[in-house]
Amino acid sequence: MPLGTLFDRAMLTPRAAQLDGQKVRIRGFIYPGVVQQSGITNFLLVKNLECKFGPQGLAYCVMRVDLDEGVTTEFTTYPITVEGTLSVRPYDAGGFTWSVYHLQGQRVD
């Protein structure tokens, strides 16, 4: 997906489309822009700490995560694993897509 564009479902690989709505385990890093250090219930999960979020960012490299009620996590600079239901749910703003995927998280390790 080129930088600074809007997502189109035709951009999905067959494997990514197959995972839409499925339970997955994904490893990554909490994007350092969180406003709290503990009791975190939603955050951005990035593939690596070089992934850019926002204008001219890599929308496929960033995933929005919302944790189920009663599930929280702590901020860490180490990788974490999140288990939950993956969905293709683009977040668009300012004429381009900021993130492509959403994860409804049920567990964080």
Whether the CB-CB separation of 40 and 83 falls below 8 Å is answered with no
**CA-to-CA distance for 26 and 2, rounded, in angstroms?**
23
pTM of the model: 0.89
Beta bridge partners of 66: 42, 104
Q: What is the pLDDT of residue 45?
A: 95
Q: Give residue-wise pLDDT tens across range 35-70.
A: 899 999 999 999 887 777 766 678 888 899 999 999
Domains of the chain and any CATH numbers: 9-108 (2.40.50.870)
In this model, does residue 19 exceed pLDDT 70? yes
**CA-to-CA distance for 63 and 18, rounded, in angstroms?**
17
